Chain A
Amino acid sequence: MDELREPRAITRRQLLAGTGAFIVSFSLLGMARGQETPPAAVMPAPAPASPSALPGDLNIDPMLDSWIAIDADNQVTVFTGKAELGQGVKTAILQCAAEELKIDPLTIKLITADTVLSPNEGYTAGSMSMSMSGTAVRNAAAQVRELLIAKAATQLKADPTTLTAQGGQIVGGPQSLTYGALVTGETLHVNAQPTSKLTPTADFTVMGTSLPRVDIPGIVTGAVTYVQDLRPDGMLHGRVVRPPSYTATLADADTASIEKMPGVVKVIRDGSYLAVIAQQEWQAIVAMRTLARSAKWKEQASLPDEAHLPEALKALAVEDGTVADSNTTPTGVVQTFDASYTRPYQMHGSIGPSCALGQLGSDGVTTIYTHTQGVYPDHAAIAQMLGVDQTKVHCIHMQGSGCYGHNQADDAAADAALMARAVPGKPVRVQFMREQEHAWEPYGPGMVTHFTGGVDANGKIAQWDYELWSNSHNSRPGPPGALLSARYLATPFPQDPQVFSITPTGSGDRNSDPLGYSLPQKHVIWHFIKDQPLRQSALRSLGAFFNLFSMESSVDEMARLAGVDPVDFRLTQAADPRGAEVIRRAASSFDWAGWTPVPGRGRGFAFARYENHASYLAIAVEIAVNTDTGTVRLVRANAAIDSGEIVNPNGIRNQTEGGILQSMSWTLYEAVTFDRTRITSIDWQTYPILRFGGVPDSIEVDIVPQPGQPFLGAGEAAQGPTSAAIANAIRDAIGVRLYDLPLTADKVKAALLSVPAVD
């Protein structure tokens, strides 16, 4: 197992023992938190040990040694419970630790999400890695540095204010001591100071710089990077045979003849769960296909009518909740705007289908390498599915293809566990096929929204009534029924019912409270849909994408009613100066004021503060419409983002550019398709996404410096505003508002035909 981490029997204590590791416990009191705690359903991590607010995820694990260890050889190890998803979090966390410890970030050993080695930081989701884990690591590192200085002062009989930390040493005049030399012995078990002495932005040498991503050289040269690249000696290849539809049950399958096929080691049939394990990967694929052909299923039509999805969603049973209510009635409304918007189910669509590697050891522990967003919740769910104690499942995060939320990573991990159980001692790598990833991933749910708004005689928003129909956008583990295969076993684990909860962070209702604007009246209702006609869960930005599409489209229409430029309209009603600043910057970077209309071209603008408490982002776009085909092309996009203190500007830019392009693809092209029984969008032809032909000429991202402010997290801020800016630009170009995603060429063409030609 040369490519794998040491056998899982290793524990944190063993890892750190015998190396003079620096173990410190401390309690930080009275520190303001940068972020609100996400709802329990999103982050099922242990409750904070004390009610006092510590920086970031130090609340979840307040022990310093949970985050930082230094051994006698001066090796610094940093632990984070977050996972690298391609968002560059490893590099950014190393920067935080290196800045405060005053060492070279490339000398630090970084341990990411691992149920034995890392703190339990729940899910890597919601753009919270920097605000929660980055903040924890940075504060822990600053505390450690100050403890080392104090310790050195004693040993050197020096005034601590004359000592500095630099390059792994505490230096005072001609004398110096290495960190490693200072961390021996029990005496270093001390409580930290109540506040962290953080390095001021002006003194940054590592934070605030575009340190190149540590993983890119490996990615571009073919180093072992992804779960898919693991191939320990003796590894077998696993494939599942999924049912043809959600509610199908297995009637018959010819497992005996499959077992005789070349290379086949095992065929698993457990209720309606079917899988094959073979020596070679191609043998596993051939056996999977043969087994799939032999299988007989009982299917039933259980899906809604795709052609009338919005009506079908609205017809489902709902529970109503109030997201926001000013308890005022609209006054002075002179003109109103009323509209319904719809969104189909949309996919994560990872380029690499999900994969996991599992092995059942002789000690009864199943070790799983997985690209899950949550090793801890995943191992708990898998342990329940297997009917074993949680200590018997060890999940280790390793990179996969980008996931953008809850894709099938957890399902692959569960399958790896089931297959590993069938061939004890043997490592099994499970790889889903393209059509399995497309047909079975939990989609971003279909939604319907309705907006009624009005402006007063002063051209200001005077009325804001908004309703949304949506699932929760969350069916993550937790419960074992969240794992796909667990539902099909002979003793099945049914899926838990959806839980309705309205939280500040929001889920289906994310960003539906219009806090970005100062409004005299607002009323926002969530019609929570309990049933999940299609499998659904968290897709990057959850409900924010479609709520902001609806809301910022409506704001644009109200600006038209008021006869005010849409940028000015937003600026004069922005609730927060930081919001106003990104609006001004995006408009100026686009040269909004210098725009001259061109036939077939349009410009659009949108703005939001993600989750109402994370990054601020405004975006201006120019689009071109081919009036013959209806095809829309994004020509350029100019965004401005304020994500608090900047750790890595290039990383923020990369995430924002990516968010804009992905949101553009959702907005223009994407819809899950199905008949009454089966999902029919099962590959890239039936589910088209952005290709190079649709890539804009340019994307500019302006980052607002915010020295000393909390990290806000940048990964999802662009999703909502981009979609509305595009819709607003189409409206500008063709004079017709489109309400139903995706804004395909067919819909644009139909809209063009609906307007009488003007000579």
Chain B
Amino acid sequence: MSIQLNVNGQDETIDSATDTPLLYVLRNDLRLNGAKFGCGLGQCGACTVIADDQPIFSCVTPIMMLEGRKIRTLESLGTEEHPGPLQQAFIDEQAAQCGYCIPGMMMRAQALLERNPKATEAEIRVALEPNLCRCGTHMRIIRAVLRAVDAMAGA
């Protein structure tokens, strides 16, 4: 059984059971490290990616529901050599401890900033509610997203 997915602008043919959650396809078949396995239950947000313009939990979204949608992962935001504005903001704020939750935070923040480029601190806090961080990096995550708001406005 094969399924066509569009990931980070590339068409991909995936040979996996159609009920396979997107997360495993991204991580194993497409070798994309951004989305992380945290709970597989839609409770922590570590696996957050964007489908069209919505943040989704890739751990509970079967690939059969994603045909024809444009999926974006952390890797679409930039590279180590050329980090995108949100990535640069997280680097500038040193917004990571173990970093495991960070890619999911960033993709949820990215979806917010695309929808609402002038997001306030209060709006950022509300938007990030589904995502857990156990290291207590929250203050820096909020600061990094605010910094990205400024950077994108100035760009």
B12 to chain A minimum Cβ distance, whole angstroms, is: 16
Q: Is the CB of A221 within 8 A of B136?
A: no
User: What is the 8 Å Cβ interface bit string for chain B, positions 81-115, against chain A (1 contact, 0 not)?
Assistant: 00100010011001111111111001000000000
> A36-44, A348-356, A462-470, A622-630: which lies at the B interface?
A348-356
A659 to chain B: closest residue by CB: B136
A695–B138 touching, CB < 8 Å: yes
Cα A281 to Cα B22 in complex, Å, equals 12
Return the contact of B139 from the options A225, A352, A650, A657 (Cβ within 8 A): A657
Interface string of A198-233 (1 = CB under 8 A from B): 000000000000101101111111111110110100
Interface membership of chain B positions 122-134, coded 1 if the CB is closer than 8 angstroms to chain A and 0 otherwise = 0001101101111
CA distance A654 to B128 in the complex (A): 20
Interface flag for B151 (CB, 8 Å): no
Residue of B nearest to A352 (CB): B100
- Residues on A with C-beta less than 8 A from B132 are 351, 684, 689-691
**Bound complex: CA A280 to CA B15 (Å):** 11
Please tell me if B57 contacts chain A, counting CB pairs below 8 Å.
Answer: no
Inter-chain contact B33/A350, CB cutoff 8 Å: no
Minimum CB distance partner of B40 in chain A: A434
Query: Chain A: which residue is nearest B38 at the CB level?
Result: A351
Which of the 9-residue segments A65-73, A396-404, A497-505, A553-561 touches chain B? Answer: A396-404
Is A692 an interface residue when CB atoms closer than 8 A count as contact? yes
- Decide: B125 and A282 in contact? CB cutoff 8 A: no
Chain A positions within 8 Å of B102 at CB level: 219-220
* A residues 677-713 in Cβ contact with B at 8 Å: 683-685, 689-693, 695-696, 698-699
B64 to chain A, nearest CB (A): 13
Contact status of A216 and B46, CB under 8 A, knowing A221-B83, A231-B31, A658-B135: no
Q: Which A residues are in CB contact (< 8 Å) with B34?
A: 222
A661 and B16: CB pair below 8 A?
no
Q: List residues of chain A with CB within 8 A of the CB of B7.
A: none
Residues of B within 8 A of A615 (CB): none
List which A243-297 residues lie within 8 A (CB) of chain B: 262, 280-283, 285-286
Nearest-neighbor residue (CB-CB) of B39 within chain A: A434
In the bound complex, do residue B139 and residue A692 qualify as a contact, i.e. CB atoms below 8 Å apart? no
CB closest chain-A residue, reference B104: A351
Knowing A220-B90, A221-B83, the reply to whether A282 touches B38 (Cβ < 8 A) is no
Q: Which of B37, B78, B140 has the most CB of A within 10 A?
A: B37
A220 near B140 with CB under 8 A, answer: no
**B17 touches A (CB below 8 Å):** yes
A286 to B21, alpha carbons, bound, how many Å? 12
Judging by beta carbons under 8 Å apart, are B87 and A226 in contact? no
Within 8 A of A (CB), among B29-49: 31-34, 36-41, 43-44, 46
In the complex, the answer to whether B133 meets A351 with C-beta atoms within 8 Å is: yes
How many angstroms between the C-alpha atoms of A228 and B37 in the bound complex?
Answer: 8
Contact A654/B97 with A220-B74, A662-B134 known, Cβ cut-off 8 Å = yes
Is the CB of A80 closer than 8 A to any CB of chain B?
no
A210 vs B91: C-alpha distance when bound (angstroms): 13
- Least Cβ distance of A466 to chain B in Å? 29
Q: Name which residue of chain B comes closest to A658, CB basis.
A: B136
Q: Whole-angstrom distance between the alpha carbons of A737 and B50 in the complex?
A: 46
A433 within 8 A of B: yes
Assess A216 versus B40: contact at CB under 8 Å? Given A282-B20, A402-B134, A691-B132.
no
Residues of B within 8 A of A217 (CB): 80, 83, 87, 91
Asked if B28 lies at the interface with its beta carbon under 8 angstroms from chain A, I say yes
Candidates A88, A219, A222, A434; contact of B73 at CB < 8 Å: A222
Chain B residues with CB under 8 Å of A212's CB are: 91, 94
B98–A399 touching, CB < 8 Å = yes
Q: Are A224 and B28 in contact (CB under 8 A)?
A: no
Determine which residue in B32, B87, B126 has the highest number of CB atoms from chain A within 10 A of its CB, and name it: B87
CB atoms of A349 and B140 under 8 A apart: no
Contact for A351 among B46, B78, B129, CB less than 8 A: B46
List of A residues within 8 angstroms of B136 by Cβ: 657-662, 665, 690
Contact B97 A281 (CB under 8 A): no
Contacts known (A86-B99, A282-B20, A689-B132); A683 close to B74, Cβ less than 8 A: no
Whether B10 sits at the interface, judged by CB under 8 Å, is no
Bitwise interface map of B from 54 to 88 toward A, beta carbon under 8 Å scored 1, else 0: 00000000000000000001110111100100010
From the candidates B33, B43, B140, name the one contacting A222 in the complex (CB within 8 A). Answer: B33
| Contact code string B1-34 (vs A, CB < 8 Å = 1, else 0) | 0000000000000001101110010011001111
**For A404, what are the chain B residues with a Cβ–Cβ distance below 8 Å?**
134
A693 B39 Cβ-Cβ under 8 A: no
Instruction: For residue A290, give the distance in angstroms from its CB to the closest CB of chain B.
Output: 14
Q: Which residues of chain B come closer than 8 Å to A698, judged between CB atoms?
A: 139
How far does the Cβ of A624 sit from chain B's closest Cβ, in whole Å?
15
| A85 touches B (CB below 8 Å) | yes
Return A16 CB to nearest CB of chain B, in Å. Answer: 29
Measured between beta carbons, the chain B residues less than 8 angstroms from A115 are: none
CB within 8 Å for A281 and B98 given contacts A222-B73, A434-B38: no
For the complex, is A655 an interface residue (Cβ under 8 Å from B)?
A: yes
**B39-A220 in contact (CB<8A):** no
Q: Within 8 Å of chain B (Cβ to Cβ): is A120?
A: no
Whether A225 lies near B97 (C-beta < 8 A) is no
Judging by beta carbons under 8 Å apart, are B96 and A86 in contact?
A: yes
A431 at the interface (CB under 8 A from B): yes
- Asked if A643 CB lies within 8 Å of chain B CBs, one says no
Separation of A285 and B62 alpha carbons in the complex (Å): 14
Partner of B129, one of A220, A285, A683, A692: A692
| Residues of chain A within 8 A of B133, CB atoms compared | 351
Chain A residue with minimal CB distance to B130?
Answer: A691
Residues of A within 8 A of B103 (CB): 219-220, 222
Beta-carbon contact of B43 and A683 below 8 Å:
yes
Tell me how far the C-beta of B17 lies from the nearest C-beta in chain A, rounded to whole angstroms: 6
| CB proximity of B39 to chain A, nearest CB, Å | 4
Known contacts A661-B138, A684-B132, A689-B134; A431/B37 CB under 8 A:
yes
B7 to chain A, nearest CB (A): 13
Say yes or no for A118: interface residue by CB 8 A criterion: no
**B146 sits at the interface (CB 8 A):** no
Cβ contact within 8 Å between B100 and A692: no
Residues of B within 8 A of A281 (CB): 24, 27-28
- Apart from A657-B137, A698-B139, list 15 A-B contacts with CB within 8 A: A85-B98, A213-B96, A219-B103, A221-B78, A281-B24, A350-B100, A351-B38, A351-B46, A351-B134, A352-B36, A352-B100, A402-B98, A434-B41, A654-B94, A691-B129
8 contacts between A and B (CB under 8 A): A86-B97, A222-B103, A228-B37, A229-B33, A352-B37, A654-B94, A665-B136, A699-B139
Query: 10 tightest CB-CB pairs across the interface, nearest first?
Result: A86-B98, A661-B136, A402-B98, A658-B136, A219-B99, A401-B100, A222-B34, A434-B39, A684-B43, A86-B97
